[in-house]
Structure 1
Amino acid sequence: MKTHGSLSKVPAHAVANVRNDMYLMSEALRLLEKKHPIRFDAETAANVQAFARLLDHATKFIPLWVKIAVAIALGLGTMVGWKRIAITVGEKIGKTHLTYAQGASAESVAMSTIAAADMFGLPVSTTHVLSSGVAGTMAANRSGLQTATLRNLLMAWVLTLPAAIALAGGLYLLFRALG
């Protein structure tokens, strides 16, 4: 960066490396502050914090078009699949229908789990958390679980990551070939 003056003047072949270095520096500062706090004088501490903010601003952002595309995809997916999801979670995980108490318990556990994951910055799937909560209430109530549905849910959870990787990789190669 010092050589070129700004990120916009860095040659295209070097941008990825510069961004990666900026991200690594930001993470190093964050971890250093968290695990091994160093006591700086007030001016140096303010400069380090300002530098970390600038690094985060440059590397940890989501472009507007990505936010819009994700919102549209989630909205369309929910519009198309809501009924199947609701029936699977509410009626097909257990051998009996979900009672109000079981639903409230599953939702409370899901809310707490998602809030804790958010607090610690952990990635979780709200659908996985809620489905597990429903299965837990069915098991605790001795209502019985439908193993075929649980097996299908487990397979969907396991296969989601490799399928997403393959799809993203394929689209990347396609777009790179077109562009």
Structure 2
Amino acid sequence: MKKIHLLSSLLLLFAVTLFFPSCKSEDGDYQISNQDFLNEAATFNAFQISAGDLAQSKGSTESVKQYGAKMVTEFTSYKNELAVLVASKGWTTPTTVTAAQEADLIVLRALSGTAFDSKYKEIMVSAGQNILDSYQTSSGKNGVFDADLRNYAKNKIVYLESHLATAKTL
């Protein structure tokens, strides 16, 4: 009798796991992993701070210089906010830019005057659209696994949209 009970319990357990999948895991149906999003957000923050510093010193128009200053201020704040979240979860993030971002910074460092302004605008629009797309994906229902990280991404979208709109007018 005990064997029949044990066997029926095992069959029931098997049926439950087969017909009622468990909650999603980080490796499940999510579009981007926590770590991939963290890497992208952290390197983008560092890139915006570095590019903003360059805009303040090399920009030829007041609008480029002011935009650069705003990027330094805001992305330093985003970087600090992300650092608190990362520390609370025991995660790690890069502290430098990607190779592609470094290449953009090298180009910007070599330019001056209106050539700098033009290239800076081009890079800000392209990078701004890419990061906005990433944050929109990451903040969605199946974006990243961690709810706090999804909320971080969701709360930044309105600001990223504003930055992108302003970059287009430089």
Normalized against structure 1, the TM-score is what? 0.30
Which structure ranks higher in relative contact order (CA pairs < 8 Å, sequence separation ≥ 6)?
2
